[in-house]
Amino acid sequence: MSSTVRAHLIIRGRVQKAGYRDYIDEVAFDLDLKGYVKNLPDRS
């Protein structure tokens, strides 16, 4: 039996040029997670 869990995360802080998005993409792939990333109007 499988179940679906939904989460909405907002990550804040200075992560520019730190490789954060690539790291999160790799972790999500390893955990077989699906989703997307976007920048908000307040640049978070």
Which tokens is 42 given? 């307040």
Its pTM stands at: 0.60
Q: How many CA atoms lie within 13 A of 30 on its CB side?
A: 6
Q: Is residue 8 part of a domain?
A: yes
Q: Is residue 13 part of a domain?
A: yes
How many domains does the chain divide into?
1
Q: Is residue 44 part of a domain?
A: no
Q: Is residue 18 part of a domain?
A: yes
Q: Is residue 24 part of a domain?
A: yes
- pLDDT tens digits for 1-44? 678 889 998 888 776 777 888 888 899 999 999 988 888 887 66
- The residue segments making up the domain with residue 5 are 1-37
Q: Is residue 12 part of a domain?
A: yes
- Three-state DSSP class for residue 36: coil
Q: Is residue 5 part of a domain?
A: yes
- Residues taking part in catalysis: 21, 39
Would you tell me how many other CB atoms lie within 10 Å of the CB of residue 10? 7
pLDDT of residue 2: 73
Q: Is residue 42 part of a domain?
A: no
